[in-house]
Structure 1
Amino acid sequence: MSHGRRWQEMRFDEDAELDSSQVEDVGGSGGFPGGGIAIGGGAIGIIGLILVLLFGGGIDLSSLESGGQQPAQPGSDLAAECRSGADANANQKCRIVADVNSIQAFWSGEFARRGGRYTRAKTTLFTGSVDTGCGFASSAVGPFYCPADRHVYLDLGFFQDLRARFGARGGPFAEAYVLAHEYGHHVQNLVGIMDQVGADRQGPQSAAVRLELQADCLAGVWAHHATQTTDENGRPFLARLTDEDIAAAVDAAGAVGDDRIQQKAQGQVNPETWTHGSAAQRMRWFKIGYRSGDLNQCDTFSAAL
């Protein structure tokens, strides 16, 4: 099987009904509007914010940004383009819609099963830079969740950078893992876990690391149930998921471990400045969630990391 073909194994049910209202595409200016990145609460981006926090802007992030003087890029009409699983199989943005639908359908059901109520978070697709409830952010921040406005923000160019800069294998389910991780933060926000972080934001045993590893575990819990999660008509969003897809998600989790990023950026590893956990930890906690399918197994705040 060729490298290109195996990513086709992840398939959505062609007749699954998509709810494009859960995702908006705002396009973007293509440049960073200036000023600092104001990101509140637990909104910790997978890639760029690690670099900004750990290295104080000393790393060249230019390939993660769009370059300053490009014309505005309009967003897509997702409501017209993304109606079914067949659209998700043919179009990346529609695939994002389907991923978000599946993730939120799962958490809605899980909250209800436990006597709670899940509140949806919208995903905003942007290009270059975006204004959020947590302040302006550029593509350099990577995907992130803003607890202030309960939105997930994503520049799709991140997935190319994930492969090119950080050596991840990539593929559709690696992208789904990234989204599921960010929605893990939304779950943490809804149940008050983010409040436990406080000022404990660096170090191998820090609350920030425990928060991120828990989000990886929650992403794995969704992945365990992904092919059983259905639309409002009872059709599963994901019709097929393979071992290769899960391996791609695990690989993506490892690619953004603090130790791997630090080694690439500065040639050495300093655990005392970790904010997300090591590659081994991130892969391990995703697999704990995936193998168990039980969010009760994701108590990273009590468990040994």
Structure 2
Amino acid sequence: MKTFKKILVAGAWLLSLPALANSPYLVTTDWLEKNLNDPKIKVIEVSVVPGVYERGHIPGAVNFEWHTDLVDPVRRDIATQQDLEKKLRAAGVNQDSTIILYGDNNNWFAAWGAWVFDVYNVKNVKLLDGGRKKWEAEGRSLSPLAAAPGAGNVKVSAANNALRARLPDVVAVADKKSNAALVDIRSADEYSGKVFAPAGVQELAVRAGHVPGAVNVPWGQAVAADGTFKPVEELRKLYAGVGIDGKRPVITYCRIGERSSHTWFALKKLLGYEVRNYDGSWTEYGNTVGVPVNNPAGTVWGGR
């Protein structure tokens, strides 16, 4: 159960509600369980661990593999308009459907899916607050049976690339030619340059550190112990503490764009700020010749 706190605003004590209170972008595990049989509810799992969907998933959920279904399998880019529409229709999504996304790893890739859907103006998209972690922790039912929905009729709009940040946008901030705020959501060790990437990952950059001017708010600071988003008031205070208060546009980045999608969701959908996700992130920036880099730790790539 969520805990509620009191905050003092203009001399009056107000309840600090969970992030999902009055939010059109989050649903609770309890709500989803009660609405699984609603034909207008389409549940999509986007997990990163191989086989997790096949071992058991929320009943009726279809599986989107982020590295083939939500991205272009050849170019480094998000899925095309045509491919995404085809995939959504195969998942039974209609024009009037409500899409519930969830996944493992605290919804990192589910949030990536929400960002991709946002770029293509897919309507009525929500995250399951807490994702698989919370659903499983509460002992709710899982099914190994693959969903077989009928064909949907959803139409996907052309990509709105104004919702994406590109390398020149980020370099402009580093060169102090843009007033956008940069939020690096990686770990403190990645941000400082002590490590190039989390242990065991395949996608690397040959330079460590961060984009000059970026502030560091690791994505995990936005969630509670059960993986749900912290109350909106706490989120607002968290980001305001490093100068992110909604008064100027924001760009989020991480290593490949998935963790930063989680923070993009918090800042844009829950706080209502103007936010773009830089999906090139550090594997693009840290491999680009000639761009400015801050590396407080001084770690040097050894080519091994």
Which structure has the greater CA radius of gyration? 2
TM over 0.5: no
TM-score by length of 1: 0.25
TM-score by length of 2: 0.25
Q: Which has the higher contact order (CA 8 A, sep 6+)?
A: 1
- Higher helix share goes to which structure? 1
